[in-house]
Amino acid sequence: MAVNAIKMIIPCQCLLGEGPYFSRTFNCLFWVDILSKVLYRFDCTQQTLQAVQMPESICWLMESHDQQLIAGFENAIYYLDSNTLQRTSLYCQLNEPQGNRLNDAKTDRHGNLFFGTMDKLEQQNVGSLYRLGNGKSLQKVDSNYVISNGPAISKDGRTLYSTESSTQTIYQFDLNAQGELSNKRVFVKFDQTMGFPDGMTVDNDNHLWVASWNGHGLYRFCENGTLVHFYRLPAPRITSLTFFGDDLTTIAVTSARIGLEPEVLTQYPYSGAVFILQANIQGIAETPAQL
């Protein structure tokens, strides 16, 4: 068993909780509620929670190489002041279709920032995967996504995983030190009983963890795509996860309550919460974005 138990539940009741991220600099766990336009900051030292209303949908947050916070909003990327969380424009020229928004992001081991976009109506394959960082201009590196989700990077940094949630497919790419992708292929395709793959991360054993929307939990796959473990959680719409803490053996899992019928919410009252799990496997620290 890679997960021992649920250590704590943070009942934040997110409509669409997403993007958990651990900052070693601030010893804080961050996550977002995209639809409620809220950024959450949990201070791991003080064990206090702050919820900050944002002016528009915030889709992800991470740390830069110079210890600044950066965040992807609906259509642009901003710096956030680490104290006030006020934003300053960083990149606003995405030229995405009008009905699109940013969705999920991750850095590779060299600090290249990969982020996806999606059709807000979840109908057309007009979303893309982008790369930004290390002095290079923004580049579209993959396309034809309805819902681009969960970039994740292998332990050795040579493989990038990217999800097309609408088709329940996780892809692999070869990834080089310059952040260039090649050799796209299917890694895992979920069946109807597994839900829809969402946010992802890789652990220190180079196993891929995948949050499952309508799948009630987390899947863990080994390098050849074999399912080695499923951990069920008390919410159907599990959206993303990250390892955090001093030794990276604690897992934060986000979830959503949007679209659930009243009887389902009665059955799963923790839908939209953040679940804190104690693991017996270690994660990998995220590389700050090298912009």
Burial track 123-155 (b if 16+ CB lie within 10 A, e otherwise)? eebbbbbbbbbbeeebeebbeebbbbbbbbbbe
Which contacts of 40-44 are long-range, i.e. CB under 8 A and separated by 24 or more positions?
40/12, 40/274, 41/85, 42/10, 42/274, 44/244, 44/245
Active site residue 198: yes
Question: How far, in whole angstroms, is CA 279 from its chain's centroid?
Answer: 19
**Cα-flanking dihedrals φ and ψ of residue 288, to 5°?**
-60, 150
Pairing of strands 169-175, 159-164: antiparallel
Tell me the C-alpha distance between 70 and 89, whole Å.
10
Tell me the C-alpha distance between 240 and 63, whole Å.
18
Tell me the C-alpha distance between 83 and 50, whole Å.
12
Q: Which residue among 198, 203, 205, 247 is the active-site one?
A: 198
Q: Hey, what are 154's tokens?
A: 């292998």
Q: Which residues are catalytic?
A: 198
